[in-house]
A and B are shown apart, each in its own frame.
Chain A
Amino acid sequence: MKLTLHIWRQKNASSPGKMVRYETDANEHMSFLEMLDVLNEGLIAKGEEPVAFDHDCREGICGSCGFVINGVAHGPLPSTTVCQLHMRHFKDGDELYLEPWRAAAFPVIKDLVVDRSAFDRIIAAGGYISVSTGSAVDANALPVRKKDSDMAMDAAQCIGCGACVAACPNASASLFLSAKMSHLGLLPQGQPERMERALNMVAAANEGLFGSCTNIGECEAVCPKGIRLEFIARMNRDFLKAAWTFRQERVESD
Chain B
Amino acid sequence: MKLDARIPSGPIEKKWEKCRFDMKLVNPANKRKFSVIVVGTGLAGGSAAATMGELGYNVKAFCFQDSPRRAHSIAAQGGINAAKNYQNDGDSIYRLFYDTVKGGDFRAREANVYRLAEISVNIIDQCVAQGVPFAREYGGLLANRSFGGAQVSRTFYARGQTGQQLLLGCYQALERQVQAGRVTMYARHEMLELIVIGGKARGIVTRNLVTGKIESHIADAVVLATGGYGNVFYLSTNAKGSNTTAIWRAHRKGALFANPCFTQIHPTCIPVSGDYQSKLTLMSESLRNDGRIWVPVQKGDKRKPSQIPEGERDYYLERRYPSFGNLVPRDVASRAAKGACDEGRGVGETGLGVYLDFGDAIRRLGKGVVAERYGNLFEMYERITGEDPYTVPMRIFPAIHYTMGGLWVDYRLMSTIPGLFVIGEANFSDHGANRLGASALMQGLADGYFVLPYTIGDYLANTKLDMVDASHAEARQAEADANGQVKKLLGIGGKRTVDSFHREMGKMMWDECGMSRNAKGLEKAIGRIAELEQEFWKNVTVTGAGEELNQSLEKAGRLADFFELAQLMCRDAKERNESCGGHFREEFQTPEGEAMRNDDDYCYAAAWEYKGPGKKHELHREALSFEYVHLAQRSYK
Contacts and interface: CB of A to CB of B under 8 A. Distances in A.
Interface in A52-105: 52, 54-64, 80, 84, 86, 88
Contacts of B497: 41, 44-45
A149 B449 contact: no
Interface in A146-193: 146, 149-150, 152-153, 156-157, 159-160, 183-184, 187, 189-190
B66 A64 contact: yes
A117 B187 contact: yes
A130 interface: yes
A127 B69 CA distance: 13
B322 to A, nearest CB: 34
B289 interface: no
Nearest to B52: A133
Contact of A84 (B70, B72, B384, B548): B384
B176 A37 contact: no
A202 B500 CA distance: 47
Interface stretch (B9-17, B22-30, B161-169): B161-169
Interface stretch (B271-279, B359-367, B507-515, B620-628): B271-279
B175 interface: yes
Contacts of B65: 56, 62, 64
A37 B278 contact: yes
B278 A58 contact: yes
B522 to A, nearest CB: 30
B462 to A, nearest CB: 22
Interface stretch (A1-9, A25-33, A236-244): A25-33
Contact of A61 (B164, B179, B544): B164
Contact of B273 (A29, A49, A64, A116): A29
Given A124-B179, A189-B130, A133 B450 contact: yes
Contacts of B282: 59
B142 A190 contact: no
A109 to B, nearest CB: 6
Contacts of B210: 109
B125 A137 contact: yes
B366 to A, nearest CB: 18
B239 A56 contact: yes
Nearest to B171: A123
Q: Dominant SS at the A interface?
A: loop
A156 B549 CA distance: 31
A109 B549 contact: yes
A59 B380 contact: yes
A245 B307 CA distance: 66
Contacts of B135: 149
B278 A143 contact: no
Interface in A11-51: 11-12, 27, 29-31, 33-34, 37-38, 41, 43-45, 47-50
Given A50-B552, A136-B129, A58 B66 contact: no
A62 B74 contact: yes
Most buried by B among A84, A86, A156: A156
B326 interface: no
A47 B541 contact: yes
Nearest to A160: B69
Contact of A139 (B84, B158, B239, B386): B84
A166 to B, nearest CB: 15
A145 interface: yes
Most buried by B among A117, A131, A139: A139
A140 B86 contact: yes
A231 interface: no
A27 B552 contact: no
B278 A156 contact: no
Interface in B273-302: 273-274, 276-279, 281-282
A115 B208 CA distance: 14
A41 B499 contact: yes
Contacts of A137: 125, 129
Contacts of B158: 153, 156
A251 interface: no
Given A86-B386, A123-B175, A144-B140, A138 B72 contact: no
Contacts of B173: 128, 131, 133
Contact of B239 (A62, A138, A157): A62
Most buried by A among B66, B72, B122, B384: B66
A128 B543 contact: no
B113 interface: no
Contacts of B50: 133
Contact of B66 (A50, A117, A129): A117
Interface string B111-139: 00000000000101111111101111111
Contacts of A86: 383-384, 386
Given A12-B548, A139-B84, A59 B281 contact: yes
Contacts of A219: none
Contact of A128 (B74, B138, B164, B175): B175
Nearest to B164: A61
Contact of B277 (A34, A56, A138, A153): A34
A105 to B, nearest CB: 14
Contact of B67 (A47, A50, A120, A135): A120
Interface string B223-261: 000000000000000011100000000000000000000
Contacts of A144: 136, 140
Contacts of A143: 136, 139-141
Given A47-B541, A62-B239, A117 B67 contact: yes
Contacts of B450: 133-134
Given A34-B276, A60-B380, A138-B125, A50 B130 contact: no
Given A11-B548, A131-B129, 16 more contacts: A27-B274, A34-B277, A44-B552, A45-B495, A57-B239, A58-B278, A62-B72, A133-B51, A134-B126, A139-B129, A140-B84, A143-B140, A149-B133, A153-B158, A153-B159, A189-B128
5 contacts: A31-B384, A127-B175, A137-B129, A149-B135, A156-B165
Report the 5 A-B pairs with minimum CB-CB distance, sorted nearest first.
A143-B140, A128-B172, A136-B129, A136-B125, A124-B175
Interface of B: 47, 50-51, 54, 65-72, 74-75, 84, 86, 122, 124-131, 133-142, 158-159, 161, 164-165, 168, 171-173, 175-176, 178-179, 185, 187, 210, 239-241, 273-274, 276-279, 281-282, 380, 383-384, 386, 449-450, 453, 495, 497, 499-500, 541, 543-544, 548-549, 551-552
